[in-house]
Structure 1
Amino acid sequence: MIQFNKIVCVDNTKLNDTAVSELQALSEAKVKVYTDYPESKDEVIERIGEAEAVIVSWHTELDKEIIEACPRIKYIGMACSLYDDESANVAVKYARENGITVKGIRDYGDPGVAEFIISELIQLLNGYKGMQWKEMPQELTDLKIGIIGLGVTGKLLARCLLPFGADLYYYSNTRKPDWEDKGVKYLNLKDLLKTCEAISFHLPKNAQPIGEKELSQFGNGKILINTSLGLPFDEKAFSKWIRNEGNFAIFDGDGKKELSKETLGISNVIALDASAGWSAQTLKRLSKKVIDNIQTYCKEN
């Protein structure tokens, strides 16, 4: 098994102590672990220095300029999801074209996201925390909920909602016949927005299918939920929509990250600071997947 000259955790990757110890076995020099986030490209470059392996969270961008400035890099381990090159915070295509291996992880924080959505939805439907969707408390039973993006998290949310008797719909780039057999009905985006009383986004970063026209189709007296990284809608259009009577929006710390302070201050915007997918179990899964990736690389090279 090869060793790198040095491994740097360039920002707060949140790897647990066990994972850091396992990284040390793969590094000749002491592993450098940063627990904050660099404020500039120059700071990122300085942190990486001559290191051959870099571990990075989704908060920090490793673009072409940074990778060019750090020619010793052989391996980039993303302590975050890698759905596709376009939505990644790493210049994946450029890195791979220059002989650098880039590995991301998947499916590590999904249970917490589903729990957050159901918890916040129930509290809003019943007014448990002050704000209440309608004059009378409502159940999840027969509530028309649309899931936009039926990937791992979207499927988990659907699986959790089905026993409550919610009326579930989905929109995705590809049809999911097995989930349609379970009772989750497919609609195109326009029809889903018109049909559903609540929608939940589960999309990769930088996907933005919703603008003013789509929010107009969604209408009023509705609930919008976002736990995706980044905004899946145009903020200006959302700011106008959320001010309409009866509309509510729910965000976790990741989902609200790109919203302006002005938008976050609008009444009926429920925004938590914490990331919905973060828990002790998430930390353990994330750490293991990051270590599995880099250990596999070292065994195969």
Structure 2
Amino acid sequence: MSKYKVVIAGSLMAPALERIQKFCDVKQWTKSGAIPQELLFDWLKDAEGLIATASIKVDKELLKHAPKLKVISQAAVGYDNIDIGACTDKSIPFGNTPGVLVDATADLAFSLLLCSARRIHEGWDFVRSGAWRSGSNIPFGIDLAGKTLGIVGMGQIGAAVAKRAGAFGMNVIYYNRNRRPDDEKIGATYQHFDTLLEEADCIIVLTPLSKETRGLFGREQFTKMKSTAYFINVSRGPVVDANALFDALKTGQIAYGALDVTDPEPIPIDHPLLTLPNILITPHIGSATTETRTAMAQLTVDNLLAGLEGKPLPACVNTNLIMEKQKG
């Protein structure tokens, strides 16, 4: 029995890769950086399955070069690099990995807040540089207990962050496209967006990237925040206007910033944000634990194999859209 032909556009955790290789002939890009488009298009000529990465754009142009494609899967929750409409037009299901990275990402989001609030990395730099002496001016942070945390984007990760904030004695407010029916259960109070900006001592952004959220945080929004506000972005880089954030931090319009995502990404070494003393940036490590990345990879394979066999994907973004198209 012949094996399915699959293209993997980047790295994949070993246990998941081994599962695919049992059933599929695999072409995998293993070098650093994004796979060259010309090579990707050549590989896709005969491919029945594709494991995409955020570094490639899955659109009508790509799908024209993949006439045999049955399924696309990606090890991520977000899919702003995927043209869902184009996939649906071709009746190609697209699978992502919701749920399995909730706790890891919530841990990272709250860790960025905690490290920023207590200036932990600056304290380490202080010790390492030899500046720690008797009577020296150690870095001072802020207490989190009693502060108001504003969460923008109250999905599963937002609810998990709210739980962690509650354990630290924080008052949690949130803004979401739709108000949740379980405010009391998650320990958070819904507020309008502008009200959240004005009232929050700390803001954590967890909204997905869309037309509505691209550039959601710009000069106007930073102006509405407290001058003592701490701003944390763990969603997508383009949700924040990087130039506006730089100016807000540079002028003291807000107190501190922490980012796990940037625009562009990776952030260039000469980017103005890297010159500031009141910012902390990590390299998009929200889901980067061994356990979580392994679980994401396994779900990615589950989606891929199901699609290759013509079965429903365990986590499919466009199932209903494909069904509606077929009925029409």
What range describes the TM-score normalised by the shorter chain of this pair?
0.7 to 0.9
Alpha-carbon contact 1:81-1:104 (below 8 Å) kept: yes
**Residue 119 of structure 2 corresponds to residue 115 of structure 1:** no
In structure 2, the partner of 1:31 is: 26
2:167 paired residue among 158, 163, 167: 163
Cα 1:35–1:176 shift into 2, 3 Å: same
1:192 paired residue among 183, 188, 196: 196
Q: Spell out the pairing of 1:112-261 with structure 2 (5 A cutoff).
A: 112-130=104-122, 137-206=141-210, 207-208=213-214, 209-245=216-252, 247-252=255-260, 257=265, 261=271
In structure 1, the partner of 2:50 is: 54
Aligned residues: 291
Q: Superposition RMSD on alpha carbons, in Å?
A: 2.6
Deviation at 1:170, TM superposition (A): 0.3
Greater shift, 38-47 or 15-24, is seen at 38-47
Deviation at 1:173, TM superposition (A): 0.7
Alpha-carbon contact 2:45-2:67 (below 8 Å) kept: no
Structure 1 residue matching 2:76: 3-state secondary structure: strand
Distance 1:137 1:99 in 2: 53
Structure 1 residue matching 2:227: 3-state secondary structure: coil
Q: Which runs of 5+ in 1 are unaligned?
A: none
Q: Which runs of 5+ in 2 are unaligned?
A: 127-137, 312-328
Alpha-carbon contact 2:179-2:190 (below 8 Å) kept: yes
Distance 1:3 1:205 in 2: 40
1:65 paired residue among 58, 61, 67: 61
Alpha-carbon contact 1:230-1:258 (below 8 Å) kept: no
Post-superposition CA distance 1:25-52 (Å, at most 9, x none): 332xx31222234354323213433211
Structure 2 residue matching 1:81: 3-state secondary structure: coil
Structure 1 residue matching 2:74: 3-state secondary structure: strand
Alpha-carbon contact 1:58-1:79 (below 8 Å) kept: no
Distance 1:213 1:278 in 2: 33
Deviation at 1:186, TM superposition (A): 0.9
4+ aligned runs moved over 6 Å, structure 1: none
- Which of the pair has the greater relative contact order for Cα pairs under 8 Å at 6+ separation? 2
Structure 1 residue matching 2:91: 3-state secondary structure: coil
Structure 2 residue matching 1:129: 3-state secondary structure: helix
Greater shift, 62-71 or 119-128, is seen at 119-128
Deviation at 1:156, TM superposition (A): 0.8
Cα 1:263–1:192 shift into 2, 3 Å: same
Distance 1:111 1:256 in 2: 26
Q: TM-score, normalised by structure 1?
A: 0.86
Cα 1:8–1:229 shift into 2, 3 Å: same
Q: Percent identity?
A: 20
Distance 1:255 1:162 in 2: 31
Deviation at 1:150, TM superposition (A): 0.2
Post-superposition CA distance 1:89-114 (Å, at most 9, x none): 12221122123222222123222222
Cα 1:123–1:298 shift into 2, 3 Å: closer
What amino acid is aligned across from residue 108 of structure 2 in structure 1?
A: F
In structure 2, the partner of 1:22 is: 19
Alpha-carbon contact 1:227-1:254 (below 8 Å) kept: no
Greater shift, 118-127 or 219-228, is seen at 118-127
